[in-house]
Structure 1
Amino acid sequence: MISIPDEIGNLSGLITVELHLNDIEGSIPTRMKELMNLQQLDLRGNRLDCSISDEFCQLKNLGWLALSNNKIHGLVPTCLGNLTSLRYLDLGSNNLTSRLPSALWSLKDILELDLSSNALIGSIPPQIQNLRAITKLNPSRNKIAGNIPDRIGSLLSLQFLDLSLNFITGMIPKSMETLIDLRYLNVSHNKLRGEIPDGGLSKNLTGQSFMMNDALCGRNPSLQIQPCVNQISQQRSNLVEMHIAYTPRLNIMIDVTSGLEYLHEGYSSPIVHCDLKPSNVLLDEDMVAHVSDFGISKLLDSGQSKTKTKTLATIGYIAPEYDQKELCLQKEMFIALGLR
């Protein structure tokens, strides 16, 4: 069995220890704490079966700590938050079972933090905003719950964010639109809901970033995400407006004038509408125009072409050509429609 000897503590001048991918078994020697000048410790890809000792926290100059892909178990020491020189911390692919240590969110100068593929619980707190220099954050494949804090939008240096395969709920904060340097985002396999922010967040992303969040919706068709309900309504509204805009207006005018001609000439007693306006012209499914609202229409005696009335239009509206008049004429019905 290959193991790290206790005598490593005698090498007090060591700055870097790189022992990754060596099938090292056992535990990390407690005498490692004596390497006060140590800046980089890389033990990735071994078979270490132990917990992370609080004694690591005595290595005040440690800037790089990589323990991923081992069998390390137990708690993440809260005292790691005191290692203010840390720039890179990789604890991924182990068997850690503690809550997310709040002390980690005080590492204001850390650049990369990887906690992926463990069994960590808890939630991401608003204090995440303290990681002002971070470029990579990966707590994926854990048991993290709760919401994505709105203050994550203050991490302006963030380029890589993986929150996938957790139990995160709530909405994706709109504040994430400010993360203009974000190149990779994965929030798939959670319980997120609501609309994906339509700003720069979704510009360089694909649907895989958001998959398996059944209650998510969005506006960007390239994401292959279901559209939001209000978006569907707007699309239908736009479709109706498009049909109206491009239907030959002449056909609508012909339908209306044909209806008026029938009112004026089709009976022995002509009928004058007296309130013809666009809102009283209805279009059916075949885009055929129909004149409606005869509430103030007038009957003319045979031979009459005008009549007096005290009611010139519906409440709240009066056509300008009727202003200061009491006359309701057949010809003015065409003026109200815009056929001058």
Structure 2
Amino acid sequence: MLSCWSTMTMITFSLSTTSSRNHTDQLALLAFKSQISQDPLQVLNSWNTSLHFCQWQGVTCGRRHQRVVKLVLKSRGLAGSLSPYIGNLSFLHTIDLDNNSFRGEIPSSEVLGRLFRLRAFVLDNNSFTGELPSNFSRNLDSLGLSGNKLSGTFPKQLCALQKLITLQLRRNNLTGENMLSSKLPPSIYNLSSLWTLGLTMNQIVDRLPSDIGRTFLPNLRELFIGGNHFFGPLPSSLFNISTLEVLELSRNGFTGKVPDNMGNMQKLRVLSFSRNNQLGSSGRADDLKFLSSINSTVLRVIQASYTSNIPQDIGKLNNLQVLSLRNNNLSGRIPFSINNLARLLGLELHHNNFEGVIPNTSNLQSLLELDLSGNKLNATLEQVFGQTSHGLLYAYLADNSFTGSLPVEVGNFEYVVDMDVSNNYLEGEIPNTLGKCLSLQQLSLMGNSFRGSIPPSFSSLQGLKFLDLSQNNCSGEIPMFLQNLSSSLEYLNLQPKAFFKMQVPSQYLGTTSFVEASLSFNFQHARSSSKSASETSNLFGTKSGTDETQKTSLYDHYERVSFLELHRATDGFSPANSIGTGHFGSVFKAIIREGTEPVAVKVLNMIDHKASKSFMAECEALRNVRHRNLIKILTACSTVDFQGNDFKALIFKFMPNGSLEKWLHPVRTDDERYLTENLSLSRRLNIAIDVASALDYLHNQCETPIVHCDLKPSNILLDEDMVAHVGDFGLAKFLQRKNTNSGTTDTTNSFSPRGTIGYIPPEYGVGVKPSTQGDMYSYGVLLLEMFTGRRPTNEEFEDGPDLHRFARLPCVKR
């Protein structure tokens, strides 16, 4: 009996202990949830006591002990900080929070050290700050921290993780102290188990070891070191790593010639050398000879920067899917052997010096993108559209010397999304068969000699967003069916070399459908008896009361910007290129096209249902205004991304001195100049005058007054001369004047509070509609913040005086 009782006691104790440990896991998960500030997809709704935690979304438990072994919540739109209580999930072997908006520091080394079973720690593409963590389990085989804002040097402790297979630290390179710097510890090359090494977009200054392929990294499959400051020649031994599948060396300072022994890498899938300006720049005919040595049967992508001719041997790379040799000084003819690349999906040869005819492309039946723009090709387009696969999605042939007509065969490309044949020597009538291209979203025929009228078949292009027929010899009336396309059409340019002699259909007078970009009509039009001259001029973009004599098109600098261009210019909208966030999106610095100035790209977060309205509001406001103290919009992009999701972005002139917020409240993670340079009293006064001038223009000089609704330091941008520009019109409101003594009032019947707490007037919180007086209240708060250095939401004002009362206090009491 005693033995039986003892056994039962032991069983009871064991069950109790297991239950206690399970409870520990549950509390740790709830602590994790408590630090989440945004959950747009409501993935954590299941995290409640009505379900066992092993059934919560993103949680996986082991079968034996019912303890948490995996926490996987990638790409869920989560925002917040990472709770240190994850250290209590002692059975955890995988945590994957890739592609969210977590911020703050990664839990301490002490916390991570308790996860001794951890094998995968993946936090890529978030906004974590602080030092790179180092105290990981020796069982770790995958470490992903790319696309964050981590700082400090490379921890030597990571080089001791002998089971590490994947090490991703790409894109942690803001400015100031937020960068990996100087050389890598030599011991990193001793990680013999490593399959993937990703260090792209940091500030590493180093050479690759001369014997890298003989002594080090014998099992390496993927090497990403682009966007650093590696220098010197490429070691010949690098190409002895027979396991290598991806070699990404772009945007560095490598010099000399690429060794010809690439034939050793027979598993190579991706090869990128682009933007190494001194690599293969001798101008010798054999600079691209290394392509002839490639024996890989699986090569998919080549990106290179060279001065040479493309060798005929390129045609032997039978499995090549993307060939990108753009923005080089390549010359001569495009080799006819290109037609042997039957699996080619993308051919990017734009902005080189290729000349002559286009080789036969009839065998390229998988081709999705053809970009030959910016060369000296002088063939007829029959050679292109008569041979190329009808499955083509993107056709870029602009800025060449193509002659002849646009052939009727163009109608066979029913899936084409974007077609650009601008700035050539094309003539004849626009073929009616273009109306068969039902997927067409962007069409540019500008800068040619087309004649005749707009084909009636264009009425079938219900998804058309961008249409540029300017600088041609077209004639006739604007067709009525363009009015039916107004729900999709965002940019329409019919400006000819000579004025059109046509009448404007009355339906266009007063229409507000095309609000996302400028209408660049330039023709003689008949006035409608039902509309005033001022209303008509407003439609076509002329304004009075501005400090510029003529309003220019939004597309003056970037006539067309595609999602693909923006994706490339921002390195896939990398957090490393982020320069700010707003209510409905993020802002990135980008150079969209070679030789142009940097721009600011505001990408709307379309998960938020209000983002689309914000985009429309900002386009509507900025297309109608011009003032030296307002942010200058260059163009807009409204399309779909690679997954077919809605994509909207605004492109602005870049402001090199950032926002007023960063100058008033510098923090350690910002550019160091905000810490070392202070705003003088005179500069603060000038900025205040600039902002007042912008508000005066918006409130009193526009035909329809505009209320900004979100005036605050982060929305005041400073150019290279420290001149202030008011930006972010995503919450702007148009008002209509009334003949009352109360000034301007909003005529809408509904209103939800707009703006940022602390800056908007209190009455907005109880339903009072936006007004110019509301903006002036925000301006007053801004002035107090500029001259006291205190935010209106500072903690010191929670239980004490507010910012207004604080400003009245004598200096001695502050």
- TM class by shorter-chain length? 0.5 to 0.7
**Number of aligned residue pairs:** 231
Structure 2 residue matching 1:188: 3-state secondary structure:
coil
Shift of 1:196: 1.7
Shift in CA distance, 31/130, structure 1 to aligned 2, threshold 3 Å: same
In the alignment, does 2:407 pair up with 1:101? no
User: Could you list the per-position Cα deviations for residues 250-309 of structure 1 after superposition, in whole angstroms to 9, with x for gaps in the alignment?
Assistant: xxxxxxxxxxxxxxxxxxxxxxxxxxxxxxxxxxxxxxxxxxxxxxxxxxxxxxxxxxxx
Q: Deviations over 1:32-68 (max 9, x none)?
A: 1110111110111111012012111011111110000
Question: For residues 124 and 19 of structure 1, what CA distance do their matches in structure 2 show?
Answer: 31
Counterpart in the other structure of 2:444: 162
From 400, 419, 437, the equivalent of 1:137 is 419
2:296 is aligned to 12
Counterparts of 1:108 and 1:82 in 2: how far apart (Å)?
12
SS of 1:33's equivalent in the other structure is helix
Offset at residue 99 of structure 1 (A): 1.4
Structure 1 residue 225, shift from structure 2 partner: 4.8
For 2:497, give the aligned amino acid.
M
Report the residue type matching 1:199 in the other structure: F
Q: Secondary structure at the match of 2:332?
A: coil
The CA distance in 1 between the partners of 2:314 and 2:491, in whole Å, is 44
CA displacement, residues 159-196 of structure 1 (integer Å, 9 cap, x when unaligned): 01010000111111121122111111111000000012
2:375 and 2:399 in contact (8 A); partners too: yes
SS of the residue 2:451 aligns to:
strand
Q: Does the CA-based 8 Å contact 1:162-1:186 persist in structure 2?
A: yes
Q: Which runs of 5+ in 1 are unaligned?
A: 240-340
Amino acid at match of 2:300: T
Deviations 1:56-97 (A, max 9, x none): 1011111110000101111112x2133111110000000101
- Aligned residue type for 1:26: S
Is this contact kept in 2: 1:6–1:29, CA < 8 A? Answer: no
SS at match of 2:353: coil
**Kept after mapping to 2: 8 A contact 1:16/1:40:** yes
Aligned AA for 1:18? I
1:110 is paired with a residue whose SS is coil
Shift of 1:12: 3.1
Q: Using the alignment, how far apart are the partners of 2:398 and 2:297 within structure 1?
A: 32
> Greater CA deviation, 110-119 or 204-213?
204-213
**Structure showing greater relative contact order (alpha-carbon pairs closer than 8 Å, 6 or more residues apart):** 1
Moved runs in structure 1, 4+ residues, more than 6 A?
none
For the residues of structure 2 that align with 1:42 and 1:99, how far apart are their CA atoms? 23
1:29, CA displacement in angstroms?
1.3
Identity level (%)? 28
Structure 1 pair 19–98 and aligned structure 2 pair: CA distance change class (3 A): same
The alpha carbon displacement at 1:212 in A equals 3.3
Unaligned stretches of 5+ residues in structure 2 = 1-279, 282-286, 512-518, 532-814
Letter in 2 for 1:10: I
Please say if 1:86 is aligned against 2:367: yes
TM-score by length of 2: 0.27
2:342 match: secondary structure: coil
Provide the secondary structure at the position in 2 that maps to 1:124: coil
Q: What are the within-5 Å matches in structure 2 for residues 290-309 of structure 1?
A: none
C-alpha displacement of 1:102:
3.9
Given the alignment of the two structures, is residue 150 of structure 1 paired with residue 432 of structure 2, yes or no? yes
Offset at 1:7? Answer: 4.5
Question: How many angstroms apart in 1 are the aligned matches of 2:491 and 2:498?
Answer: 14
- Structure 1 residues 103, 48: closer, same or farther in 2, change over 3 A? closer
Q: Partner amino acid for 2:382? A: P
Residue 210 (1) aligns with residue 495 (2): yes
2:457 alignment counterpart: 175
Residue 175 of structure 1 aligns to a residue whose secondary structure is helix
| Match for residue 332 of structure 2 among 50, 62, 76 | 50
Asked if the contact 1:126/1:149 (under 8 Å) is kept, the reply is yes
Q: What is the distance in 2 between the residues matched to 1:140 and 1:168?
A: 11
Following superposition, the deviation at residue 215 of structure 1 comes to 2.6
SS of the equivalent of 1:72 reads: strand
Counterpart AA for 2:379: S
Rg larger in 1 or in 2? 1
The question of 1:196 aligning with 2:478 is answered yes
Instruction: Report the Cα distance in structure 2 between the residues aligned to 1:136 and 1:12, rounded to whole angstroms.
Output: 33
Q: CA RMSD in A?
A: 2.4
Query: Residue 362 of structure 2 aligns to a residue in which SS?
Result: helix
8 Å Cα contact 2:499/2:524 also seen in 1: no
Q: Taking structure 1 as reference, are residues 152 and 197 closer, same or farther at Cα in structure 2, changes over 3 Å only? A: same
Is the 8 Å Cα contact of residues 99 and 120 (structure 1) preserved in structure 2?
yes
Alpha carbons of structure 1 residues 213 and 155: separation in structure 2 relative to 1, 3 Å: farther
> Which SS does the other structure have where 2:347 is aligned?
strand
Q: For 1:54 and 1:216, how far apart are their aligned partners in 2? A: 46
Secondary structure of the residue aligned to 2:462 is: coil
Measured after TM superposition, the shift of residue 11 of structure 1 is 2.7
